[in-house]
Amino acid sequence: MKKSFVIYVLSDSVGDTAEQVARATAEQYKNTDYEIKKYPYVESVVKIDNIIDNVDVKNSIFVYTIVNQEISEYLKKVCDQKNITYIDIMAPSLDKFSSFLNQEPLRESGVIRKLDENYFKRVEAVEFAVKYDDGKDPRGILKADIVLIGVSRSSKTPLSMYLAHKNYKVVNIPIVTGSKVPDQLFEVPRKKIIGLMIDPSDLIEIRRERIKVLGLDNSVDYVSIEKIYEELEYAQKIMKKLGCPVIDMTKKAVEEAANLVIDIINDLN
C-alpha cells in the first residue's frame, strides 16, 4: 500500500533549492505518493502560523531554506511543539562553513537571486557595448551610462568591454579629423562623456602593429605622424568643446583606465 504525504517547502527566497532537494529525496522511495506545496518569501512568523494551521501533522514534512535566524528558530519551535517532521537544509552547511571560515554567515535571504540579477545586468551591458561599439549607432549615446570618445586605437573598445563587465552600459565614439561628431553628444550630461587621449609616439607604434596584422602598407596616412598630430589636435578641440573630463591613456593598462573612469563618473554624480 502506497504512503501518501505532503512536502511543505518553505523559503525566505524563491524556494527552488529546497524544492529540488525535497523532490530528489522523495523520488528515492518506492510505493509513495507525494505532493509538494511551496511557500516562497516566508519572511514573518505570522506567515508560518498561517501555513501550519492547515497542516495534516501525521502526513506532512517540512523542508526549508530560511537563513533568517529568528524565523528559522521560530519554525523549528512550532514544528517541535506540533510534532511535525522538518529538515533545515541550510543549517548543516552554514555550521560547517562557519567552522571552516571562522566567521558567522550574513543570514541574508535571496543572495543567489541577487547574484543572478547581477549576472544578467552584466550580460546586458556587454551586449550593449557590442551593439554600440565604434559609433555603429549614435542613438546608443542617449541610453549609455558612459560615453567614451577618442581617435582610433586609443583603447576605446577594450575599455568599453572592461567597463561592461563592471555592469556599465558603454558607447564609444571615434573622432575622425574633419568629421562631425554625433549631435547626441551635446544632448547628454557632460559627466557621462570621457575623452581618451594618448601620446603621439605611442599611438603611432600601436597603429603600426595594427596595420602589420592587417597586412597593410606602412606608408598609409593611418601611421603618418603628421596625420596623428592632426587627429589628436582635432580630438582635443572636440573634447574641449564638449567640456568633458579627459584621461591620458599613454602606457595605461585597461584596468587602471577603467578605475579612473569609474572614479570620475562617481565623483561627478
pLDDT tens-digit map of 70-102? 999 999 999 999 999 999 998 898 899 999 999
Distance CA 50, CA 200 (A): 72
Which regions of the chain are under pLDDT 70? 109-116, 219, 268-269
- One-letter amino acid at 192 equals K
Task: Return the pLDDT at 163.
Answer: 97
* pLDDT of 114: 62
Binding positions for ADP:
150-157
For residue 176, give the 3-state DSSP assignment.
Answer: coil
The Cα–Cα gap between 181 and 175 comes to 7
Q: Which domains occur in the chain, in start order?
A: 3-109 (3.40.50), 112-268 (3.40.50)
Q: Kindly state the cell numbers that stand for 159.
A: 575599455
> Helix count (H) and strand count (E) of the chain?
9, 8
pLDDT tens for residues 7-38? 999 998 888 889 999 999 999 998 899 999 99
- pLDDT of 119: 76
Annotated binding site: 150-157
Q: Cell numbers 577618442 label which residue? A: 150
Residue 48 is predicted with a pLDDT of 95
